[in-house]
Structure 1
Amino acid sequence: MTIKLVIFDCDGVLVDTEPTTNIVIAENLSRYGLEISFEEVDTLFVGGTMAGVMTTARDMGATLPDGWLEEIYSEMFAALSKGVEVFDDVHLFLDQLDAAGIATAIASNGPPKKMAISLTPSGLIGRFADRVYSGHDYIPKPDPAMIHHAMQIAGVTPAETVFIDDSPTGASAGIAAGVRTFGFDPSGSFAYLARVDVEKVRSMREIAALIGVVMPPD
């Protein structure tokens, strides 16, 4: 079946925001009595929502105030506004998808404002126009609601759709939606993705080859 839609997660797939946000979360939680490293933040919370982080952190002993979500997002946005790295060949892959007439979308658990901040400096936000879907507007992953919505808007079937995510939570949404799902980890360790039965890839070039999209040579 010809691929007609590629859906991307945002953080950890298009842009490398997670090192920045993990440090912000770890430093913030330490102020509320929960000493945790940024590596532990990644292990505990990867792919989830900040509301979920708040609940888990409280269960672990953090004395978080009721307005904590507003506080942590403000700190994250300030850190991300300083700039984040775009993963290798993302722009080139999008160019080739456009040339092949393959639609694209984003399905992320992050809030729209966070995506705008992290994707605007590189111009990525404009490449997806109004096809940016957030778990703050739909049921968040691992529920497949955003993926179903993206397919409905694009007018495609699950067999014509590919989804790319870097976390077991996100990848589970792709599996639940019945679409071909790639687990993305440029490091090649796939430590978190080992928990889900997805095709594991290290680069956009690898994904392109697997779905029959020709990329220019390096």
Structure 2
Amino acid sequence: MDRPKLVIFDCDGVLVDSESAHSEVVAASLTRYGLEITPEACMARFVGSRMATIGETATAMGATLPDDWVKEVYAEIFVKLRDGVEMIPGIPALLDELDAAGIPYCVGSNGSEDKMEITLGHIGIHDRFAGRIFSAYTLNTWKPEPGLYLHAAQALGVAAADSVVVEDSVTGATAAQRAGMRCFGYAPHDDGAGLAAVGATVFHDMAALPGLLGLAEGDRRREAPAQSLRSA
């Protein structure tokens, strides 16, 4: 593919391995309020969803949640995240390659800015996205609607068609599709069929993404003339 002019990353599950911690807290909270559910079931059902939507769905499934449940569960999630999260393997090298290629990147997440400050700060890359962190809570537009991604592209002066999104959830991949952006679906634990069903190009290792973005291919093209001269 032609190189993109902007790469938009989702946060949880793409830059930082926080989905399991998130699901553990949500599962424990919902179980406490009458809906027995495992972290694995939470992840399968709710990954990428807005917390208010999770609450609405859980209520329909039998949970009895307090009016301030979203605020309460986020406070519990923040405590869990401050205990430590891991970076997705390969992210520093990927960001280095984008920097070297002069391709800007940003974050577009359904999570809050406070949450991203904790997670991205903990793994030491928050500063690399300074001024380029876009939250659905700040913009009041949530995936799967396209507004978050369209705003990010517009803020950085790049057309939607020249932007790509890196996502791990069907919700986020749907937002990319609706925004008219090509999506790369990161699926480290399964075949990514759900992502593929909404138009994402599935990959399983961040080390593969530079090649999918045309970076490795471009590097080979730049090396070719030098190889020809040496062979001559």
| Aligned match of 1:134 | 135
TM-score, length-scaled by structure 2: 0.89
Structure 1 unaligned spans of 5+: none
Q: 2:192 aligns with which of 167, 190, 208?
A: 190
Is the 2:183–2:199 contact (alpha carbons within 8 Å) kept by the matching residues of 1? no
Q: Secondary structure at the match of 1:197?
A: coil
| Aligned match of 2:208 | 206
> Take 1:187 and 1:67, find their aligned partners in 2: how far apart are those partners?
33
1:176 equivalenced with 2:150 (yes/no): no
CA displacement at 1:194 relative to structure 2? 4.5
1:110 equivalenced with 2:105 (yes/no): no
Higher fraction of helix: 2
Is the 2:177–2:198 contact (alpha carbons within 8 Å) kept by the matching residues of 1? no
| Aligned match of 2:229 | none
| Aligned match of 2:222 | none
Is the 1:185–1:201 contact (alpha carbons within 8 Å) kept by the matching residues of 2? yes
TM-score, length-scaled by structure 1: 0.94
Q: What letter corresponds to residue 66 of structure 1 in structure 2?
A: D
Structure label with greater radius of gyration: 2
Deviates more, 1:189-198 or 1:132-141: 189-198
Q: How many percent of aligned residue pairs carry the same amino acid?
A: 45
| Aligned match of 2:51 | 50
Q: What letter corresponds to residue 73 of structure 2 in structure 1?
A: I
> Take 1:157 and 1:194, find their aligned partners in 2: how far apart are those partners?
23
Is the 1:11–1:18 contact (alpha carbons within 8 Å) kept by the matching residues of 2? yes
Deviates more, 1:45-54 or 1:193-202: 193-202
Q: Secondary structure at the match of 2:216?
A: coil
1:33 equivalenced with 2:34 (yes/no): yes
> Take 1:23 and 1:57, find their aligned partners in 2: how far apart are those partners?
15
Deviations 1:134-189 (A, max 9, x none): 11122111111111111112211223211011011100111111111111111243
Q: What letter corresponds to residue 21 of structure 1 in structure 2?
A: H
